[in-house]
A = this chain, B = another copy of it.
Amino acid sequence: MSTPTLTLAGVTVATQANVYFGGQCVSHTVTLPDGTRKSVGVILPSTLTFTTGAPEVMEGVAGQCEVLLPGETAWRRFGPGERFAVPGQSSFQIRVEGEPYHYVCHFG
């Protein structure tokens, strides 16, 4: 486990949020000076299935989650500073219990 990304500096933030699953997941899209896009978000206690377009790496910032990655049969737990990668054009399940799970989603 490493220190999570606590801030993203020198970025452009889209002021309109992305609201998924009726608000169980809310994120804001961030664009870096080189054009790289990320999102900063939070998942409230729930079990959700996300589908990916581009490959993504989820990095925990605060809280815990359990994840069932494509092709796997066991749930894996991730916390602050821990990352998991999800292939593009796939889906994964994520389960959050108790406290919200805060993350940075790195695309591509």
Partner of A19, one of B16, B40, B61, B100: B100
Contact B26 A42 (CB under 8 A): yes
Q: How far is A40 from B19 in the complex, measured between Cα atoms in Å? A: 13
Q: Contact size class for A? A: 20 to 34
Contact call A23/B7, Cβ cutoff below 8 A:
no
User: A residues engaging B (CB < 8 A)?
Assistant: 4-17, 19, 22-24, 26, 28, 30, 40-42, 44, 61-62, 100, 102-104
Please list 14 pairs of residues, one from A and one from B, whose beta carbons are closer than 8 Å in the complex, sorted by A's number. Answer: A10-B10, A10-B11, A11-B11, A15-B61, A16-B102, A17-B102, A19-B42, A19-B44, A19-B100, A22-B44, A23-B24, A23-B26, A23-B44, A26-B26
